[in-house]
Chains A and B, each alone.
Chain A
Amino acid sequence: MNNLKNFTKGFFRENPVFILLLGLCPTLGVTTSAINGLAMGLATTFVLIGSNVVIALIKGLIPDKVRIPSFIVVIASFVTIIDLVMSAYVPALYESLGLFIPLIVVNCIVLGRAEAFASKNTVFSSLIDGLGMGLGFAFALTLLGGLREILGSIAIFNWKIFEGIARLINPATDYTQPDGILVFVLAPGAFFGLAYLIVLMKKISK
């Protein structure tokens, strides 16, 4: 497929979360806010691009029977790199994402793309595939995170909506906004939010 189609498929037609239903653990686990979802998506994109490229590069050197373990080592390496880099330079975000960063290594999307695409295509298309799928994943996570944040904390990207508006009207106000629909930033809300987003996205991508 041509490069543009290869890149955009990850957003709607073959969105890893909404259509392929992969990578659901982090999708449910870190989307308590939009920024968390976005950060997780970008971290996964980094791993996807790295592993896709490396695997596409060395695919000819790997005996078929050790293919999966080899892919896993490559993926785990990139996961460790992003883990170290994030804990060094964005410690607050790193803490919010917690356990799910090392868990990128078992994100079915990453191994899935390595197996289905990178092991059979050129380095450049594998890069585009990784980028597209990764950003599509980030898109899905940010969407769910945003939805949960707006409904659950009445905020978006940590900007408290009601308080922000109040401050625009009267900068000296000390208004504190009420709680949102808390269930959305808790476990059940993740399930509900994802369920309805899937229905919505399925309709849109038709």
Chain B
Amino acid sequence: MEYILIIIGAIFVNNIVLAQFLGICPFLGVSGKVKTAVGMGGAVLFVMTLATIVTWLIYTYILSKFGIEYMRTIAFILVIASLVQMVEIILKKISPSLYQALGVFLPLITTNCAILGVAILVIDKDFNLTYSVVYAVGTALGFLLALVIFAGLREHIEKLPIPKAMQGIPAALVMAGILALAFMGFSGLV
């Protein structure tokens, strides 16, 4: 039951993009294609969950044991970079079309602050491994949701007359702001 609360909390109440501001770059960069958004969200879900597990294990059984918690940042980011490389290689073999569609976004997952952010968050919040995985999955789903909604929105406004100065990122940011405002309505849900 508690796990459901964590997931709902992570997707809606503390949405990683709209409330915690992590993962903004891929979020704003996503085009108006819902398909790409789903693919990106899926990749993030996979990497985030795997990365959280591996970094949690490394922190608990290696870094803590030897008292070198300060090596956390280096260790975590190297793990994430390697995982992304792995995902790229695997994706190329399994689904070359998806690999093509994601294009340059795939290596960018490494610098997606959401992934490193979640890895650090679960350590700081002292979650055990199960909680951490549940939280990571929930967060990634929240990311996916935000991305898909946003892609859908962008598809629509492409046809609207926006003043030239606001075109592109500024309009996207205002939209994101309104979306964030809407998501604020979820607070108090859990």
Contact = CB atoms under 8 A, between A and B. Distances in A.
Chain A–chain B contact at Cβ < 8 A: yes
Contact of B184 (A73, A83, A188, A203): A188
Contacts, number: 110
A29 B14 CA distance: 13
Main secondary structure of the interface of B (DSSP, over half): helix
B43 interface: no
Interface in A33-84: 68-69, 72-73, 76-77, 79-80, 83-84
B142 interface: no
Nearest to B181: A188
A99 interface: yes
A69 B110 CA distance: 11
B178 interface: yes
Interface in B24-43: 24-25, 28
Interface stretch (A2-10, A102-110, A151-159, A168-176): A102-110
Contacts of A69: 78, 81
A76 B19 CA distance: 26
Contacts of B71: 80
Interface residues of B, number: 40
A102 B55 CA distance: 15
B105 to A, nearest CB: 13
Interface residues of A, number: 40
Main secondary structure of the interface of A (DSSP, over half): helix
A124 interface: no
Name the residue among A29, A195, A203 with the largest chain B CB count within 10 angstroms. A195
A63 B84 CA distance: 20
Contact of A196 (B124, B170, B184): B170
Interface string A97-141: 001001101111001000000000000000000000000000000
A45 to B, nearest CB: 18
Nearest to B28: A24
Contact of B78 (A24, A73, A107, A192): A73
Interface of B: 18-25, 28, 70-74, 77-78, 81, 110-113, 116-117, 120-121, 124, 165-166, 169-171, 173-174, 176-178, 180-181, 183-184
Sort A-B residue pairs by CB-CB distance and give the 9 closest, nearest first: A191-B177, A195-B173, A29-B21, A188-B181, A76-B74, A188-B177, A187-B180, A28-B21, A188-B180
Given A80-B72, A99-B124, A194-B173, 10 more contacts: A76-B73, A76-B74, A105-B77, A106-B112, A187-B18, A187-B180, A187-B183, A195-B174, A198-B170, A199-B170
